[in-house]
Structure 1
Amino acid sequence: MRSFLMERMSLRPWAVGKGGCLALVILSGLALIGWSGAAHASPVVSMRAGTGPAERVSRTPLPEPADAVLVVDQEWKWNRYLRDALRLPAWLDLGLEHRTRFETYDHPWRASQPSGRTDSQIQQRNRVRLGLNGKHVKFLFEGQDSRVYLDGAESYVTTAIRDEMDVLQLMASITVHNVLETGLRTDLHVGRLTMDVGRGRLIIRNDYRNTSNAFDGVHWQLGRDKHWRVRLFLVEPVLRDQVRPDEQSKRSVFWGGYIETAHIPRVRLNAYYFGLNDQRNPDAGRHRTYSTFGTRLYDDPKPGRIDYEIESVLQTGKRGHVDHFAHFQHIDIGYTLALPWSPRVLLHYDYASGDRNANDSQHS
């Protein structure tokens, strides 16, 4: 059974069964060790070098890069130690990032892995950014090298883990401030790019995962400060390869529009539409033509008050010649305590539809 949801930025449905999930979670601002796995969880220790609040380093101010409006701030607002050591001019951006992570889990659940063994891996990810940042015209190159060590013949290694020596972003952007004296800002991006959209459930620049997805195409936005903005894009998903250079496919096209508004206090609204036409598979019965509609209401967590998030997504279309219909519902209700480390209590609920009968004329 498969839900409608696309694996984060990979445009593949998640393999999950129909049903909901209710969880009560207590979160803390201190997170050095996370947990992942199935029946038995194993520790995941992550180290990330060269990052931190950008305001700590003020020797050379960091201008807004070409991808600033495409991704969340934490993906580009971090210290550039090498750039400052070389005393590069303000318009030139140079950043290096390295992460090493050890992962292990026992009792593998995948059919390709024998039961009763432990799968341990060391995953490494290196990134380099080189940007030219003018007032209106910007260029950005970002390379990424994702590797895995200690893996064996029976280890689970895919393009979500290994993608050696590839171009993650290569784009040019044009920014116009105060369009026609209206106070509006518009940005146009052309090339290979990554995107964060909304909460990142459908489109995200992967951070925890060892590899990141990218798109080749065009992105445009129009907005007013933090009050509202409209985003439109037409792209071809980049197909990752573990060793060979990544490439896009003209037989897979992804497009959409996204609206964000914050006019009402404590009520932020997102509404979006995504379209996918994927005909890469030689089997016409596996071609996908989907339309996805969604809305999201939320309030950002702050100490001493209740916050919330509600997201509802509906997807229709065809898989081959079979009708496709699915939906996803999400609710979060949280409270952040006004204490050191900002602990937060969260009530979380997810529901994803599934396929009751894989052999009928309805796919979901």
Structure 2
Amino acid sequence: MKTRLIIAASVVVLAPAQAMAAPPTLQDSIGGPEWVTLSGSSRLRYEALEGQPRAVLNATDEQLAIRTIITAQADLQGIKVNAELHDSRAWLTKPGGVVSANEVNTFELVQANIAGDVSLGGGAKLSLQLGRMTLGLGSRRLVAADDYRNATNGYTGLRSDLRTKNGLAATMIYVLPHIRLPDDLPSIKAQQPQWDRESFDLQLWGGLVSHTGLVRQLTLEVGYFGVLERDWPGRVTRQRDLDSFSARLIRDPRPGKVDFELEGIYQSGTVRASGSTSAAILPVRAWFMHADAGYSFSGPAKVRLSLEYDRASGDEPGGKFGRFDTLFGMRGADLAQSGIYNAIGRANISAVGVRLEKGLANRWEGYLTYKPMWLASRTDSFSTTGVRDLTGSAGNFAGHQVEMQLRYWLVPKFLRGQLSAVNLSKGRFLRTAPNVVTGADTRYVATTISVHF
């Protein structure tokens, strides 16, 4: 595994970095007509992990994954027809390793929709989109298309966006989230194509309202999303019937200025206590909060330094379900990337963080973070590791996480290399809880080459 990692890393380091013109694009190859646009990308990533932090899985793991996306759009006099084909595949996973429909989803038409705008007068505009689509709404903590994960989230339904001249904006959705198929291990390993499932057994609705340009360049956003999930033949679910209410206050980063973000989400409803059909249906009382404050330094490097805090409730004894559900949200911007690491998510966690990030300048961008992490509830499983101590005697300190990511355009707008790494120095809980795989510290490295055409 280490030999393969060195080879994969050398691809990023030794690839030609000299300035050169990007080759012709997919759009150039078709030569018109002007009302049709075509683009694509392909991403090859090798991941290696030692000191598995998650329960049940192998102590070491590796994966080679590739994702190819072809996007097409036809502009028919104001009505746009969009299509996007995703092909996600993975190899090298051994029995007991990580491979699922999160990594493998072949020949899937993730987007196939029509969209258009309607002028409402007074500078207001209404945009409508109908069909299969990807979504990234608000902070993307509840509804998103995860870009780091090899297979993304798709949705089928209706989206509407209202924009006004005075800074008021609203987005509303009613969609059926896609259930990626196939989801049985033999079919996944065989990379078999199968149309993702969409049905009224899994529904998502709601929206966001925001106002930009309040006092001192503040943006206020409030939102609501509802989820209804039911069993269907061959699949037992958690029978989620959840209501999530959010509020967010933002001041965007600007050179030489202090910025911040505050978001709180309260969740209520009902959920099945486990994946068993005989499990009780419990009332839900859960919550999440994120806070960060940062400063962007003046200058061409676009450097920002920030302090962060995230807390997501965990389950406690007492007949109510208290574990926060991030629905279809992404995790990378706040906590850690997914991939075969996928250990730190928005559930039963309390984490303080320091982040140093560099925006895109001189073809470089990236970030470095440090986070000590605790369990919000000692008796619930820590975050998304599945590691749990029902007695609470293993304590509540999970460990120290250091994460780094660097991206560099080897050929601008065409070829980009990326290096991602995580070191998790395990605390008492992740070393002594009853179902830990290994007490060794976790080391995760991923090297990526992306081609855009």
Aligned residue for 1:239, secondary structure, equals coil
Structure 1 contact 218–234 (Cα < 8 Å) conserved? yes
Flag structure 1 segments of 5+ consecutive residues without an equivalent.
1-42, 48-55, 58-78
Provide Cα deviations, 1:19-38, integer angstroms capped at 9, x if missing partner.
Answer: xxxxxxxxxxxxxxxxxxxx
Aligned residue for 1:247, secondary structure, equals coil
Change in Cα spacing, 1:155 to 1:212, as seen in structure 2 (3 Å) is: same
What is the RMSD of the two structures over their aligned residues, measured on CA atoms?
2.6
Q: Report the residue type matching 1:172 in the other structure.
A: I
Provide Cα deviations, 1:262-301, integer angstroms capped at 9, x if missing partner.
Answer: 0314201111000111113679893111110001111111
TM-score, normalized by length of structure 2? 0.59
User: Could you say which residue in structure 2 is the equivalent of 1:95?
Assistant: 39
Structure 2 contact 264–287 (Cα < 8 Å) conserved? yes
Distance in 2 (CA, whole Å) between partners of 1:275 and 1:234 is 10
Structure 2 contact 87–108 (Cα < 8 Å) conserved? yes
Q: After the TM superposition, which residues 183-194 of structure 1 pair with which residues of structure 2 at under 5 Å, given as runs?
A: 183-194=123-134
User: Could you say which residue in structure 2 is the equivalent of 1:247?
Assistant: 197
Structure 1 contact 136–174 (Cα < 8 Å) conserved? yes
Matched, 1:324 2:276: no
Structure 1 contact 314–327 (Cα < 8 Å) conserved? yes
Q: After the TM superposition, which residues 8-47 of structure 1 pair with which residues of structure 2 at under 5 Å, given as runs?
A: none
User: Could you say which residue in structure 1 is the equivalent of 2:148?
Assistant: 208
Structure 2 contact 231–237 (Cα < 8 Å) conserved? no
1:302 to 240, 249, 254: 254
Distance in 2 (CA, whole Å) between partners of 1:298 and 1:111 is 37
1:323, CA displacement in angstroms?
A: 0.7
TM-score, normalized by length of structure 1? 0.73
User: Could you say which residue in structure 2 is the equivalent of 1:257?
Assistant: 207
Structure 1 contact 80–94 (Cα < 8 Å) conserved? no
1:232, CA displacement in angstroms?
A: 1.0
1:113, CA displacement in angstroms?
A: 1.9
Q: Report the residue type matching 1:249 in the other structure.
A: S
Distance in 1 (CA, whole Å) between partners of 2:256 and 2:63 is 41
Structure 2 contact 288–311 (Cα < 8 Å) conserved? yes
Q: Report the residue type matching 1:275 in the other structure.
A: G
Change in Cα spacing, 1:129 to 1:114, as seen in structure 2 (3 Å) is: closer
1:351 to 311, 314, 329: 311
Structure 2 contact 63–90 (Cα < 8 Å) conserved? yes
Provide Cα deviations, 1:182-226, integer angstroms capped at 9, x if missing partner.
Answer: 221111111111111112111112211111101111111211268
1:341, CA displacement in angstroms?
A: 2.0
Matched, 1:267 2:218: yes
Identity across the alignment (%): 28
Flag the structure with larger Rg: 2
Matched, 1:231 2:171: yes
Provide Cα deviations, 1:210-245, integer angstroms capped at 9, x if missing partner.
Answer: 111011111112112682211111111111024322
Matched, 1:280 2:231: yes
User: Could you say which residue in structure 1 is the equivalent of 2:71?
Assistant: 129
Q: Report the residue type matching 1:184 in the other structure.
A: A
Distance in 2 (CA, whole Å) between partners of 1:266 and 1:94 is 37
Matched, 1:334 2:294: yes
1:134, CA displacement in angstroms?
A: 3.1
1:84, CA displacement in angstroms?
A: 2.6
User: Could you say which residue in structure 2 is the equivalent of 1:3?
Assistant: none
Aligned residue for 2:298, secondary structure, equals coil
Distance in 2 (CA, whole Å) between partners of 1:300 and 1:135 is 35
Q: How many residues align?
A: 288
Runs (4 or more) in structure 1 with deviation over 4 Å come to 43-47, 281-285
Structure 2 contact 125–162 (Cα < 8 Å) conserved? yes
User: Could you say which residue in structure 2 is the equivalent of 1:363?
Assistant: 321
Q: Report the residue type matching 1:299 in the other structure.
A: R
Q: After the TM superposition, which residues 170-185 of structure 1 pair with which residues of structure 2 at under 5 Å, given as runs?
A: 170-177=112-119, 179=120, 181-185=121-125
